[in-house]
A and B are shown apart, each in its own frame.
Chain A
Amino acid sequence: MTDVITRTDPKPEVVAPVKSGSAKDRWVRRAPLLPALIFAIIVTQVPFLVTIYLSTLSWNALRPGDRSFVGLENYVTVLTDRRLRSALTNTVLLTAGAVIFSMILGLALAVLLDRKFFGRSVVRTLLITPFLVMPIAAALLWKHAIYNPAYGLINGIFGGSTDWISSYPKAAVITTLVWQWTPFMMLILLAGLQSQSEEVLEAARVDGANAWQIFTRMTLPHLRQYLELGALLGSIYLVNTFDAVFTITQGGPGSATTNLPYEIYLTTFRKFEYGEASAAGVIVVILTIIVATFALRVISSLFRMEESR
């Protein structure tokens, strides 16, 4: 939506780009990039400019003809709105919860899969399956077939009549997300584990280090960048969670699971306060830019790692 360019420092470049050279040569080089760049700018930046414009209007679509310029008033409304702040907290909690738990589980599974055993590729196929189920289908499946108090699988197997979604709304959403995203974390961490040098590990073993020492002192530090990458990418995808909230809890009970995307959706298409919704959107974008600045630093360092390999 907007341009977040924050390189910490120039990376070691694989191929030196032409700094000089004729204008024609530069354009020849640029030509293959332009279609994609122009397309991305039009489709992602133009709507953002429109959002900024809309955020200065008082415009409720339910009252036609009522549209006027109000400057920054919408920002005041939105920033003083308790609901938006709680949505921000919920977003952080849901995202962090899902990322952390899927990371821990993913690490455990990756360690398991890093060993050789009978049917390993089958097990890997089984493990990635949750990630491939359509998110909205997964959300419906968990809501109706698993959490449902009357005929859901959990109460069906363990008995009781706990209403899981109402009693533990955040946990219910996070569990569903963790189920879907653990395979993703597992795959990244598995790639990290498999890039460890076997000779170094063997040498440590010869020196008398036990498995736990090797894991904590050698494997984990080696995995650090993979963990960072997993956390970063997981957060990018999960911070925008809409399907699960929309389907499983509708943001409730109360606003216990209303995250920013869902709150903005409600302001846009249930309250129809277009000005307020746009202002909230702009604020979210600004917040994202701040977070992304740090995130991109992580990516840059990863790229150095990758390219120096």
Chain B
Amino acid sequence: MQKPGKKLSFLIAGATVGALVLSGCSGAGSSGSGDSADNTITALMVGNPQMEDIQKLTADNFTKQTGITVKFTILPENELRDKVTQDVANQGGQYDVATVGAYEVPIWAKNGWLHELSTQANADSAYDTADLIKPMVQSVTGDDGKMYAAPFYGESSFLMYNKEMFEAKGLTMPEKPTWAQVAEFAQKLDDKKKGVAGICLRGLPGWGELFAPLTTVVNTYGGTWFEKDWTPKVDSPEFKEATNFYVNLVKQYGESGAPQAGFTECLNTFGQGKAAMWYDATSAAGTLEDPNASKVAGKVGYAYAPVNKTEYSGWLWTWAFAMPKTTKKADAAWKFISWATSKDYEQLVGKNLGWPRVPSGKRTSTYAIPEYKESAKAFADVTLGSIEHANPQNPGVQPRPALGVQFVGIPEFADLGTKVSQEVSAAIAGSTTVDKALADGQKLAEDVAKKYK
């Protein structure tokens, strides 16, 4: 024991000295909080392909033009929500730019947590606020009519299907399918032996994961979370019918590992040709049509979100960049935000990374770029149509108490939706039933409703 001990202490001494030298060097650049001061801003991004593209393009373009360094943190969607809410709600001040969604912006603006952007946006003629698509602007506008976040990309939801698989079975997808038709296709195309699922649907818990597509199904089946007077309706027959339909569909013909599959996993599954259909965000198309990232590029057909009782059922979402009130670098942060959401940035992505990857759905002018139109002809029209037909005020068959298609625009919904989604996800895994999940959900919804009635 003595001998190795001596050797050991030498090694440690060596390692420590080395480490100190290294960290001493790094100290200048990375830590010591205040030093890298005005020319560095911090940004929190969600781990979607479009945001990862920003990270790739920033150093060589934005930093070169402005001298502003951007430090990124990239997190998966659920973790991102925890983190950004934690920071903004507590005025933690860790980020100068944060990625927030259509759900958070109006609530947070009301709480006075976000820096308004209208002043800077209107002063910047190159930014051209008039070009932004109306429903997108509305979803990031506070009660005072000011913009509190800049949409980076906008999306609705639609049905993607593998044209080769449909042709092989002699099936044709209508432009506006119903859920009954989709279930029939799923049954015909499901091929467990080949490892091909009939349909890929999200099963990962999280109000923004599983409940994004599921709430749109509930809407079109005539259900809702709350009625206009805040009566909770989670255990209503319509909500149950829709949830049972969704759960059974994914259980019978869905992807393997469905209870753990979110947008990311589904994108992989469908992109690897392991599912015949996929109902999810329109923004997935950009990645699916990129031959470097997908095996099904050029083979995908796009249809409107499947419906039952309503005419359209697509959701409305935007990932947008906001500045927490705590930022001390509002000018630098705005420079970054306006760069990343500008027309020029779309050109930059198109030319460097390929036109299908342009963060679309926020500017009308995007759909007039000839190269984009050419590369996105398979999905551009359906995308724009879906966005324009989404109605956050009245997405179902009855009036609603709060804004939102696939969510309820109140702060409590994140917790409510997530808890119920855990139960529904468990029902997909087979460890509980939909009835029990929704009965529990109704109780939680009643607690929430008490605060509003």
Residue B257 contacts which of A64, A165, A252 (CB distance < 8 angstroms)?
A: A165
Taken residue by residue from 154 to 186, chain A's Cβ proximity to chain B (1 for < 8 Å, 0 otherwise) reads as 000000010101110100000000000000000
Confirm or deny: B118 has a beta carbon within 8 angstroms of a beta carbon on chain A: no
Residue A62 contacts which of B82, B85, B205, B429 (CB distance < 8 angstroms)?
A: B85
Say yes or no: A150-B425 contact (C-beta < 8 A), given A63-B411, A165-B260. Answer: no
**Are B257 and A254 closer than 8 Å at their CB atoms?**
no
Confirm or deny: B111 has a beta carbon within 8 angstroms of a beta carbon on chain A: yes
Confirm or deny: B426 has a beta carbon within 8 angstroms of a beta carbon on chain A: yes
Please name all residues of chain A whose beta carbon is closer than 8 Å to the beta carbon of B399 when the two chains form the complex. Answer: none
Q: Which of chain A's residues has its CB closest to B451's CB?
A: A63
Please name all residues of chain B whose beta carbon is closer than 8 Å to the beta carbon of A252 when the two chains form the complex. Answer: 205, 259, 422, 425-426, 429
- Chain B min CB distance to A143 (Å): 8
Confirm or deny: A53 has a beta carbon within 8 angstroms of a beta carbon on chain B: no
Confirm or deny: B192 has a beta carbon within 8 angstroms of a beta carbon on chain A: yes
**Are A163 and B426 closer than 8 Å at their CB atoms?**
no
Say yes or no: A150-B256 contact (C-beta < 8 A), given A61-B89, A63-B411, A270-B415. Answer: yes
Q: Which of chain A's residues has its CB closest to B425's CB?
A: A253
**Are A255 and B422 closer than 8 Å at their CB atoms?**
yes
Please name all residues of chain A whose beta carbon is closer than 8 Å to the beta carbon of B422 when the two chains form the complex. Answer: 251-255
**Are B274 and A270 closer than 8 Å at their CB atoms?**
no
Confirm or deny: A74 has a beta carbon within 8 angstroms of a beta carbon on chain B: no
Confirm or deny: A269 has a beta carbon within 8 angstroms of a beta carbon on chain B: yes
How far does the alpha carbon of A57 sit from the alpha carbon of B18 in the complex, in Å?
48
Majority SS at the chain A contact face: loop
Residue A270 contacts which of B82, B256, B260, B423 (CB distance < 8 angstroms)?
A: B82
- Chain A min CB distance to B28 (Å): 27
How far does the alpha carbon of A80 sit from the alpha carbon of B258 in the complex, in Å?
32
Please name all residues of chain B whose beta carbon is closer than 8 Å to the beta carbon of A251 when the two chains form the complex. Answer: 422
Place the interface of chain A in its size category. Answer: 20 to 34
Please name all residues of chain B whose beta carbon is closer than 8 Å to the beta carbon of A161 when the two chains form the complex. Answer: 192, 195, 256
Residue B274 contacts which of A63, A150, A163, A169 (CB distance < 8 angstroms)?
A: A150
Q: Which of B411-432 contact A (CB under 8 A)?
A: 411-412, 414-415, 418, 422-423, 425-426, 428-432
**Are A253 and B82 closer than 8 Å at their CB atoms?**
no
Please name all residues of chain A whose beta carbon is closer than 8 Å to the beta carbon of B29 when the two chains form the complex. Answer: none
Please name all residues of chain A whose beta carbon is closer than 8 Å to the beta carbon of B423 when the two chains form the complex. Answer: 254
Residue B414 contacts which of A61, A169, A270 (CB distance < 8 angstroms)?
A: A270
Confirm or deny: A272 has a beta carbon within 8 angstroms of a beta carbon on chain B: yes
How far does the alpha carbon of A64 sit from the alpha carbon of B274 in the complex, in Å?
46
Taken residue by residue from 190 to 213, chain B's Cβ proximity to chain A (1 for < 8 Å, 0 otherwise) reads as 001001000000001100000000
**Are B274 and A269 closer than 8 Å at their CB atoms?**
no
Please name all residues of chain A whose beta carbon is closer than 8 Å to the beta carbon of B415 when the two chains form the complex. Answer: 270-271
A/B interface sample: 16 pairs, CB < 8 A = A62-B107, A62-B411, A63-B111, A64-B113, A149-B256, A149-B257, A150-B257, A163-B258, A167-B429, A250-B205, A252-B429, A253-B426, A253-B432, A254-B425, A254-B431, A270-B418
List the interface of chain B (C-beta within 8 A of A).
78, 81-82, 85-86, 89-90, 107, 111-113, 192, 195, 204-205, 256-260, 269, 274, 411-412, 414-415, 418, 422-423, 425-426, 428-432, 437
A150-B269, A167-B429 known; 8 new pairs, CB 8 Å cut-off, are: A62-B89, A62-B411, A149-B257, A161-B192, A163-B429, A166-B429, A251-B422, A269-B82
